[in-house]
């Protein structure tokens, strides 16, 4: 699976970070999905190879503006770009009301269908995608969800060693077995299933909305390769700000990921106070150092346009 | 007066142009006004010296998304930047409904007052600004207005020649007369009014919303120094596209400005098909050449971040 970060700032854009948006896609897929759509997401998309025509679904974690104010413009531009295929829009019920109100009040007519799915019902009502998706309830000032994307490569590889041991030669027979068809060889029935290796383990990436209780992900994290979670503040600033905003600190998330031995942790959604220039204070380096102190796995701090691939061995690396 | 273009593309952003937004301010003023607020306007403001705290009023010409989808995010970021002063929002009634619906559905609480003024009533209900503003009805698919900004420098300069002829010496007396106070000199009453030159002529800049009938501005244009008007298409493309979109071509606007001897004409709101790279076709050069063929005055084609000043002699020049 691939991840492309389109916005990594919390609340308000800065000169170096836009507000929340993350693209995710299955390996080698043409289609892609978007998680959150802060204002200016369509502008960020313009600076990538992604096309609004191949966008299959948008998932909105919660209704706060820095996660959804880019929706109307992106939907309008997709229409202008000639989109006609239906688009899934998964989110809280208010997101459907928001899109409908904006369309009515600003006379926006979309020439394609939007299929709204309430996040609360997502686990029973899956969109038709290359990825399967679960929603997990989080804790924030408004209802917020994590979306957990799984990719199961249905292809099974041939067990070459076993074929050689059985003296079945490469060629047409291998092709038939690979495609799952049983064959007859010298009068003997050869079952494809016995010469195919088990399916590769499903890959799973969890992309979270705003959340002050990472432990809500304790079940979902067990089978996940990657956790993408907000780390709005460092611990000391989070203490000063108080519990009101209901965000996580780098330490809280890192402790959770460490405890559950998450292989890959990507932090994002940083308060605008953390400067990109690491010679200033506080800087994004403070967030990173705090997280490293509590988590020894593959830690990444997302920047806009960072492009990651999760490989077959479960390692997330930058492209 | 000064103009700073923040978005000059029609309908959808491109890599080099954002959607509509123009900043305007009185000479040497701290406060500024914004005409239209397409998505990403707050991002453009970040790249200028303008501050959301000194924004006094927003004027929305019409409800189409490329002129207003940046409003919610800009209002939210102004709140996060600690704004507490009231903000005027002038536009069609739907704009008030749009802002209110978005605030409710996305739980956006603004810590400052928004004073809504319906564009249709603007001429009877002026916001308290350094500039006075008229609204002029235009012709588009939805109700659209031009906003005509006037600046009257109330300061009157001393008539130095007349003072010298009357043998009134520089010093305290000049200061008193300058500030409008009559003085007594050698028993004689000297009236300030008689030694002050008339007020400078008011300056006027008209910034238009989408419009396919420039002649609707025939009255307002008489006393204007600058016309900022959309030129979405060249004439041939406008003919191909047909009357449906209700936009102007460069030729239509240039002919109108030429006929009315407008001193300064700024074209903006260009269809994304006109490439910034003038070696491509069609390019923005086609729009410019067409306009020049019909208008001999001071013609400008706006680019994002173009900054203009209208000087005392009525000439608009780039800063």
Which residues in chain B touch residue A12, judged by CB atoms under 8 angstroms apart? 42, 76-77, 80-81
Cross-chain residue pair B94–A102, CB shorter than 8 Å: no
Whether A49 and chain B come into contact, CB under 8 Å, resolves to no
CA distance B205 to B227: 6
Domains of chain A: 2-154+199-318 (3.60.15.10), 160-195 (no CATH)
Which residues in chain B touch residue A14, judged by CB atoms under 8 angstroms apart? 46
Cross-chain residue pair B42–A13, CB shorter than 8 Å: yes
DSSP for residue B296: -
CA distance A90 to chain B (A): 15
Q: Pick A39's closest partner by Cβ from B64, B68, B70.
A: B70
Which residues in chain A touch residue B141, judged by CB atoms under 8 angstroms apart? 107
Residue B194's pLDDT is what? 94
- From the candidates A48, A78, A105, A109, which should be mutated to test the interface with B, based on the most B CB atoms within 10 A? A105
Window 122-141 of B, Cβ < 8 Å to A: 141
Residue of B186 and A310 predicted with greater confidence: A310
Stretches in chain B below the pLDDT threshold 70: none
Q: Pick A97's closest partner by Cβ from B105, B107, B142.
A: B105
Q: Are A140 and A62 in contact (CB under 8 A)?
A: yes
Residue A166's pLDDT is what? 92
CA distance B26 to A232: 39
Supply the angle between the helices A284-294 and A250-259 in degrees, to the nearest 10: 30
DSSP characters for A90-109?
EE-HHHHHHHHHHHHHTT--
Whether A142 and chain B come into contact, CB under 8 Å, resolves to yes
- From the candidates A16, A17, A18, A40, which should be mutated to test the interface with B, based on the most B CB atoms within 10 A? A40
- From the candidates B6, B13, B43, which should be mutated to test the interface with A, based on the most A CB atoms within 10 A? B43
Q: Pick A13's closest partner by Cβ from B43, B64, B106.
A: B43
- From the candidates B6, B39, B72, B276, which should be mutated to test the interface with A, based on the most A CB atoms within 10 A? B39
- SS3 state of residue B266: strand
CA distance B152 to B102: 37
Whether A7 and chain B come into contact, CB under 8 Å, resolves to no
Whether B92 and chain A come into contact, CB under 8 Å, resolves to no
Residue A63's pLDDT is what? 98
Q: Residue B113, CB half-sphere, CA atoms under 13 Å: how many?
A: 5
Which residues in chain B touch residue A64, judged by CB atoms under 8 angstroms apart? 106-107
Residue B279's pLDDT is what? 87
Whether B313 and chain A come into contact, CB under 8 Å, resolves to no
Cross-chain residue pair A47–B15, CB shorter than 8 Å: yes
Whether B297 and chain A come into contact, CB under 8 Å, resolves to no
Q: Is A66 annotated as a binding residue?
A: yes
Q: Is B286 a catalytic residue?
A: no
CA distance A158 to A178: 6
Q: Pick B11's closest partner by Cβ from A39, A80, A98.
A: A80
Cross-chain residue pair B14–A108, CB shorter than 8 Å: no
Residue B224's pLDDT is what? 97
Residue A89 above 90 pLDDT?
yes
Place of tokens 């098909």: B273
DSSP for residue B273: T
Cross-chain residue pair A13–B77, CB shorter than 8 Å: yes
DSSP characters for chain A?
-EEEEEE-BSSS--SS-PBSEEEEE-TT-S-EEEE---TTHHHHHHTSS--GGGEEEEE-S-S-HHHHTTHHHHHHHHHHTT--S-EEEEE-HHHHHHHHHHHHHTT---SS-EEEEEGGGGGGS----SSEEEEEE--SSS--EEEEEEE------B-HHHHHHTTPPSSHHHHHHHTT--EEETTEEE-GGGGBPPPPPPEEEEEE-S-S-GGGGTTGGGG-SEEEEE--B-HHHHHHH-STT---BHHHHHHHHHHTT-SEEEEE-B-TTSBSSTTSSSBHHHHHHHHHHH--SEEEE--TT-EEEE-TTS-EEE-
Whether A36 and chain B come into contact, CB under 8 Å, resolves to no
Q: Pick A106's closest partner by Cβ from B14, B40, B63.
A: B63
Helix, strand, coil abundance in chain B, percent, nearest 5: 30, 25, 45
Q: Across chain A, what does the average pLDDT equal?
A: 96
Residue A148's pLDDT is what? 98
Among chain B residues, the shortest Cα distance to A94 is held by B105
CA distance B184 to A225: 90
Whether A143 and chain B come into contact, CB under 8 Å, resolves to no
Residue A199's pLDDT is what? 86
ipTM: 0.91
> In what order do the strands lie in the sheet containing B132-137?
B132-137, B145-151, B203-208, B226-230, B264-268, B298-301
């Amino acid at each position: 699976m691939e991840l492309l970060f389109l916005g990594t700032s919390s609340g308000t854009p800065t000169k170096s970070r836009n507000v929340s948006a993350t693209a995710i896609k299955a390996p080698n897929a043409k289609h892609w999905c978007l998680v959150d759509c802060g204002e200016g997401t369509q502008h960020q998309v313009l600076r990538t190879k992604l096309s609004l025509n191949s966008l299959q679904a948008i998932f909105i974690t919660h209704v706060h503006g820095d996660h959804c104010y880019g929706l109307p413009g992106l939907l309008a531009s997709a229409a202008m770009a000639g989109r006609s295929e239906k688009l899934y829009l998964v989110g809280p019920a208010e997101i459907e009301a928001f899109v409908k109100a904006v369309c009515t009040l600003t006379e926006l007519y979309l020439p394609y269908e939007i299929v709204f799915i309430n996040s609360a019902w997502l686990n029973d009502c899956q969109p038709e995608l290359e990825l399967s998706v679960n929603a997990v309830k989080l804790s924030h000032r408004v209802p917020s969800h994590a979306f957990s994307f799984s990719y199961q490569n249905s292809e099974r590889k041939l067990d070459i060693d076993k074929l050689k041991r059985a003296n079945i030669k490469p060629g047409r027979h291998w092709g038939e077995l690979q495609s799952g068809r049983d064959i007859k060889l010298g009068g003997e029935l050869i079952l494809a299933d016995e010469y195919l290796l088990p399916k590769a383990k499903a890959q799973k990436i969890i992309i979270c909305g705003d959340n002050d209780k990472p432990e809500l992900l304790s079940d979902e994290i067990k089978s996940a390769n990657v956790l993408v979670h907000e780390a709005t503040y460092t611990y000391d600033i989070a203490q000063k700000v108080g519990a009101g905003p209901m965000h996580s600190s780098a330490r809280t998330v890192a402790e959770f990921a460490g405890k559950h031995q998450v292989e890959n942790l990507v932090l994002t959604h940083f308060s605008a106070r953390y400067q990109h220039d690491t010679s200033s204070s506080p800087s994004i380096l403070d967030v990173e150092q705090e997280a490293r102190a509590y988590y020894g796995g593959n830690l990444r701090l997302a920047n806009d346009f960072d492009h990651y691939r999760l490989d077959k061995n479960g390692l997330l690396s930058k492209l």
